[in-house]
Amino acid sequence: MSDRFSAGGRTPALGTWIKLDTTASVEIMAGAGFDFVVIDLEHAPLGLDTAARMISLALAARLVPLVRVPGHDTATIGRVLDAGAGGILVPHVDTPEQARRVVAATRFPPLGERGAGGTSRAGRWGLLPRTEYVRVGNEDVLCIPQLESAAAFEAAPDILAVPGVDAVFLGAGDLSLSLGAGPDDDHVRELLAAGRAAAAAAGKPCGAAAATADAAVRAAGLGHEFVVVGNDATMLARTAHGLVGSVRDGLNP
């Protein structure tokens, strides 16, 4: 990803979610100066064909394209990676066994079970030597489980110890929902802190989502090495609402 995307980095890599069905969002985020985008196949109505076009544009703009896959499906993970994604975020990884299955879908043999698709973008349409195609898949592509339940946070040290897990992403929203608590609940905060501590002990980057700039700064202050702040849909909605409100206020002082 970015040279700042490393455990113990002083400045976190900054990304945003892509949820709108337009490649223009990726181009706009590249121009804004983000380090990476996360194309969201879990919580947005985006298809693999759209994701592939977004990945292509991100790579051309020197923006790291990550993809949040909708689940643990091996075929989907393989197709996303062959489309050229720099890595995947995988929701609801609750156990080391699930982490091992996700890693197996991400890595080529003997490290995993990913099938060879060297005629894809990831293989430069068949022009990349097989050894380099395999090396990139096994060494450079990021496999990032999302910890989103109390069970996942309790198993965090073991999940982080799975070979091939490169980082973790802490899903505070689903964690608080699963506990029937608010995001500022003490137990939620304790589990999030434990997740960060487990990542630090494992020497692996830890990421988080932030809705606002202030929240992103707070997340960085807590030690997160990468932060996903905002998303294209809410940015558009917020700006549109603010613009209309300002005009109407001006017309009706």
Please check whether residue 38 lies inside any domain of the structure. yes
Q: Above 60 in pLDDT, residue 154?
A: yes
What's the pTM value of the predicted model, to 2 decimals? 0.94
Bin 151: left if φ > 0, else alpha if -120 < ψ < 50, else beta. alpha
Please check whether residue 3 lies inside any domain of the structure. no
Each residue of 39-91: pLDDT tens digit?
999 999 999 999 999 999 999 999 999 999 999 999 999 999 999 999 999 99
Instruction: Compute the distance between CA of residue 64 and CA of residue 72 in angstroms, rounded to an integer.
Output: 22
Instruction: Compute the distance between CA of residue 209 and CA of residue 232 in angstroms, rounded to an integer.
Output: 14
Instruction: Compute the distance between CA of residue 79 and CA of residue 85 in angstroms, rounded to an integer.
Output: 9
What range does the domain containing 168 cover? 13-251
Question: Average pLDDT, stretch 178-191?
Answer: 89
Please check whether residue 94 lies inside any domain of the structure. yes
Q: Above 50 in pLDDT, residue 225?
A: yes
Please identify which residue in the block is written with the tokens 């990676």.
Answer: 81
Please check whether residue 8 lies inside any domain of the structure. no
Please check whether residue 1 lies inside any domain of the structure. no
Please identify which residue in the block is written with the tokens 């973008």.
Answer: 121
- The overall longest dimension of the chain from CA atoms, in Å, is 69
pLDDT number for residue 2: 43
Q: How far apart are the first and last CA of the chain?
A: 49
Q: Which positions ≥6 away from 194 have C-beta within 8 Å?
A: 153, 156
Helix, strand or coil for residue 181? coil
Mean of all residue pLDDT scores within the chain: 94
Give the C-alpha distances (Å, rounded to integers) separating 96 from 72, 194, 206.
13, 17, 17
Residue 50, domain CATH: 3.20.20.60
Please check whether residue 191 lies inside any domain of the structure. yes
Provide the β-strand partners of residue 65. Answer: 37
**Could you tell me the two tokens for 79?**
């197709």
Please check whether residue 125 lies inside any domain of the structure. yes
- Of 43, 72, 92, 241, which is the active-site residue? 43
> What are the φ and ψ backbone dihedral angles of 213, each rounded to 5 degrees?
-60, -45
Instruction: Compute the distance between CA of residue 17 and CA of residue 67 in angstroms, rounded to an integer.
Output: 9
Q: Structural domain tally of the chain?
A: 1
User: What is the DSSP-derived secondary structure letter of residue 111?
Assistant: T
pLDDT number for residue 1: 45
Provide the β-strand partners of residue 231. Answer: 17
Instruction: Identify whether 43 is a catalytic site residue.
Output: yes
Q: Above 90 in pLDDT, residue 243?
A: yes
Alpha-carbon dihedral angle through residues 199, 205, 211, 216, given to the nearest 10 degrees: 100
User: What is the DSSP-derived secondary structure letter of residue 122?
Assistant: G
Instruction: Compute the distance between CA of residue 192 and CA of residue 150 in angstroms, rounded to an integer.
Output: 10
User: What is the DSSP-derived secondary structure letter of residue 114?
Assistant: P
pLDDT number for residue 7: 54
Please check whether residue 4 lies inside any domain of the structure. no
